[in-house]
Structure formats: structure tokens, C-alpha cells
A = this chain, B = another copy of it.
Amino acid sequence: MSEQLTIIMAQINPIVGDVEGNTALIIESAKQAKMEHQADIVVFPEMTLTGYPPEDLLFREALYQQVESALSIICEQVTDTVLVIGYPMMDELGDRFNMAAWIEEGQIQASYIKQNLPNYSVFDEKRYFSSGQQPCVVEYKGVKFGLLICEDIWKLSPADQSVKAGADILLNLNASPFSQEKHQDRIRVVKRRVEEVKRPVIYVNQVGGQDELMFDGGSFATCAEGEVQVQGSEFKTDLVPVKILKQADAVVVLPGEKADLLHDEARVYEALVMGVKDYVQKNGFKGVLLGLSGGIDSALTLAIAVDALGAEQVEAVMMPFKYTADISIEDAEKEAQALGVYYHSVPIEPIYDAYESALSRRFEGYEEDVTEENMQARIRGVLLMSISNKTGKLVLATSNKSEVAVGYSTLYGDMVGGFSPLKDVPKTLVYRLAEYRNTISSVIPERVITRAPSAELRPDQKDQDSLPDYDVLDNIIKAFVKEDKSPTQIVDEFGYDKQEVLRITKMVSRNEYKRRQAAPGVKISPRAFGRDRRYPITSRYAEEQ
């Protein structure tokens, strides 16, 4: 029987490309882990040194030189604790690998190459990396540790190999991006693997937002029967201790801290808050700015921004026009007051009139149409961008996924912005999130939630003049976009009118050009617009059975 060992799951938030900063973060975390937890081993996430995903930065040779010197610095500075860290490596032939190193007493004692390279959804690892073939098992104080990286645990072979090479316990380094059901998926997959190989697994995930991707942490450790013994919190950086003991021939994971897991709306809300916070802070903006319309999307976006950055970093602008209802102005004011943000109003009528008059000759003989509606949205876009340029604040776009899907938004108008928090949030979920946020403190007036949604770009306009009810719309979008179902399959599943389903699915296909020019947003679904769903703009594909 060997001594008890303390392994730290280092849920850190590295910044992509910041090898120097990430190195400092690793060293600091290692020292803290030693001091606070008497750590024996600290396990970091996948690609710790570069952050994940570095994308085409991986083609730059200089990156590998930076990684090399970072490894030397770490070896030099942390000699009293074992570190397991992730990084990319390039060999003499120019082949690249996704690696994990076991650093002990100032030396890389062993290293592992990732075997399963994901190349689906948001992942392009086969663009960059060659696969490893071998397990990596390291013995330390009588325990044999098998190293695995992320996708490796989703298939049997790497874990099985590792166990056949003698591993008592598996250390899995992850950069696993968030989506709504992802945590449950991870637990399910790891349990299955544990049942197959009968070894405990320590699953370490990164935290933080990187453009569209949110890493939600939630690191965990299971015993050899698959039960979760230690659970790290979600969306928070943390050093989570796992105590293990070798008894007879097996390694036992002792029960430890178990963070409460978030549920449903709370989990999505935290992802959105982290997305805004990290995009703004990692990119060095002096706060954010958004157009407040009195509608629910901008109200929710405002609450998220304030929760992410604090009220003093958030500016809200009402830009009323003749179609703006009085209650919209009242409600916008109330929201701004409730959240304590800087709020002001810039009426757009004189600008609109100037455009109308400038274009009057060119538009002679044409009827009023959607052009004039888009013009209002675009004037607001220019105003927001001007304030952004003047103040250094980032504009947040307020479109939701339902609008983004069918193109119910104005390119260069309400789509203006550097980041789009609700881009992957369907309208029906926007309502649920607003209600959830009000349970913490009442910041979104009830009327904003209950009144019929309207873009207020023409008299008495309602969203449902041109779109089906949002619950219907969101079902169609989910089936068509996430599940790749055909219109016929959607009609069969829900019993909706076929012409309506065809109309909506065609709108989705036709509006790819708008989405291609949209700001990045927070991916919360298993299939978000952006790098996750790569559709051609030019396409005559149609499923009209």
C-alpha cells in the first residue's frame, strides 16, 4: 500500500497565442497548488501553452520556438511538483502533433501524442496534426498514470492501449467546448470508458471564452466503477484537488469536493456572461455599448453585459424613430435604470430625412418597401459604431438565433457589432433566460416579456406578420439546422403546414450571405452558425419533396 497522492485538476483560462502569459499562469498555478493543497501532481488542460484552438497560428514556425522556450522555463521553475501540460510540437519533417508532457524534477520525463484528432463540428485537427500511435504510461510513487488527450477518451482504443501498458489511472487533458448537453455527454462517455477499462479517470477541462467557443470547466474525477468522486465547478477557474490511494493492485479515488452543477437556463446564462467577459477583456476593450430598443433581445443582452463587466463598463443607447412606441422608450429607460448603466437617447429622424432627401431622385417611381426599414436599422448601426470608434467600447449585436437563421435582421444595421451574445440563442430561450435573470433580481420589465415582439420599423409591425409563432419557428430551425432534417421529415414530425416549412427552410438557406458577415457569438447549441455549420453562399440546393 503506497502513500496518498494529491492530484490537482487545474481548471485555468489560458489566452490563445499568449505563450508567455500562459507559461506564467501555469507556474503560478503550480505554486499555488503546492502551497494550498500540497499537490503532488498538477494536471492542466489540452494545449495549455497556446490556448485552444490556436487555429492557423499552428502553421507558424515561431510558435514552436516559443513553446520550446516556455517548456524550458517551466522545467526550470517548477521542480517540486509533477506537471502534466499540453502543447503543440513540430518535428524535423514539419509534422505537427498535439502533445502532453509529464514534467518531473525539471525534466520532461515522458510525453504523449494525441491519437484521435477530431475533424468535425468546430474542430479541424486533421488540418494541423498527425496522430500518435503509442500509449504513454508513467510510474510515480508506485502509481502508473496513463496520459490521454480529449477526443482520445471518446473511443475505446487509446484508453485500452494505456491500460494494457499498465496504467492504474487515466489522466485526460481536455479543451472541450460547451454546449447545452455537453457536460452530461462527457460524464456518460467517461463512465462507459471506465466500465470498459476498469480504471479511474481524471478529466481536466479548460475554462474561458475563445471567440465562439466557451470552455466550461466542470472537471471531474471518477472511481474505477465510474462514479464521480470529485466535481469541479462550471465556468470558474479553480484548482480542484483529487486524492488517490493505491490499495492492493488498484488505485482508489477518494470522495472529495463536489461542486453543484448548474441547470438549464442558469448554465446557458453563465456561458453567455463568460463569452462577453472574455471577448471584451482578452481583446482589451474599454467596455461595451448597445442599442436598447425596449424589446426583449436588447434587454437580455444588457443584463448579460452588466453581469459580465459591471454597470460602469456598459453604455445603452435608445435611438427612437416615429415607429418607436412610447412604452418601448419607457421600458428601455427602466432597464437601464434597474441595471444602473449610462443611458442616453439619439433620435434618428433628422438623419433619416437626410437620407430620404439624398436618395429621392434615385428612388423616383419606386414604392416604399423594406429599404426604408433597413435604413432605420443602418442609421442606428452607424450611430453605435461612431460612439464605439470615439470611446473604444465594443458594440454588442443583439440578434438572436431565430432571427439569424431566417435573416430577420439588417446587414450593417442591427447586425452591427463586434460580438453577438445571443447569436446561438433561439427566441423561445431568450424569453426563458429573461425570466431566469429576473429571478436573481428584477431587471427586465414584465411588459417586455409579455408584449408581442416587434422590430418597430413600420407602423404596427409585429414579428409574427412575417414569421410563424416563435415556438413553431424554433422547432423548424432546430430540426433543419441542428438535425439536418428535410422539410418532409419536419412536416411528418410536427404536423406543420408544408408550405410554411418550405418557406422557412428556404429563408434559412437563402440568408447564408448575411450570416457570413455576422459577428461571432457564443456557441451554446450542438450546432451553432459560424465555423460549426459551413454552408455555401452560392447554392441551389433545395429539399422540396
The residues of A with any CB-CB pair to B shorter than 8 Å are 15-19, 21, 53-57, 59-63, 119-120, 124, 126-127, 209-211, 278-279, 282-283, 344, 346-348, 350-351, 353-355, 357-359, 361-363, 366, 369-371, 374-375, 378-379, 381-383, 385-387, 389-390, 411-412, 416, 418, 484, 486, 513, 516-520, 531, 533-543, 545
Contacts and interface: CB of A to CB of B under 8 A. Distances in A.
B346 A351 contact: no
Given A519-B517, A535-B55, A537-B520, A486 B371 contact: no
Contacts of A344: 361-362
A15 B540 contact: yes
Contacts of A370: 389
16 contacts: A16-B536, A17-B540, A56-B534, A60-B486, A63-B541, A211-B536, A279-B538, A282-B540, A283-B513, A344-B361, A346-B358, A351-B358, A354-B354, A362-B390, A375-B386, A385-B412
Contacts of A19: 541
A16 B539 contact: yes
Contact of A119 (B126, B539, B540, B545): B126
A51 to B, nearest CB: 8
Contacts of A126: 119, 126
Given A119-B119, A519-B517, A540 B385 contact: no
| Number of this chain's copies in the complex | 2
B374 A358 contact: no
Contacts of A61: 484, 486
A354 B362 contact: no
Given A211-B536, A378-B385, A382-B382, 11 more contacts: A18-B540, A53-B536, A61-B486, A120-B127, A210-B536, A346-B359, A350-B357, A370-B389, A374-B386, A375-B382, A418-B513
A541 B347 CA distance: 42
A317 B418 CA distance: 29
For A60, A209, A351, which residue has the most chain B Cβ atoms within 10 angstroms? Answer: A351
A339 B61 CA distance: 48
A386 B16 CA distance: 39
Pick the 9 closest A-B CB pairs, nearest first.
A17-B541, A18-B540, A371-B389, A17-B539, A354-B354, A351-B354, A62-B486, A62-B543, A412-B412
A127 to B, nearest CB: 5
For A346, A369, A484, A517, which residue has the most chain B Cβ atoms within 10 angstroms? Answer: A517
Contacts of A539: 15-18, 54, 57
A355 B540 contact: no
A490 to B, nearest CB: 11
B385 A538 contact: no
A541 B57 contact: yes
Given A21-B540, A537-B211, A366 B351 contact: no
A98 B403 CA distance: 34
A411 B386 CA distance: 11
Given A211-B538, A418-B513, A359 B378 contact: no
Given A57-B536, A536-B55, A539-B16, A390 B418 contact: no
Contacts of A355: 351, 382-383, 386
A282 B536 contact: no
A283 B120 CA distance: 28
A349 B83 CA distance: 63
A357 B126 CA distance: 54
Contacts of A56: 533-535
Contact of A346 (B53, B362, B533): B362
Contacts of A347: 358
Contacts of A518: 517
A538 B418 CA distance: 11
A390 B363 CA distance: 8
A362 B384 CA distance: 11
Contacts of A278: 538
B416 A412 contact: yes
B383 A369 contact: no
Contact of A350 (B358, B371, B519, B542): B358
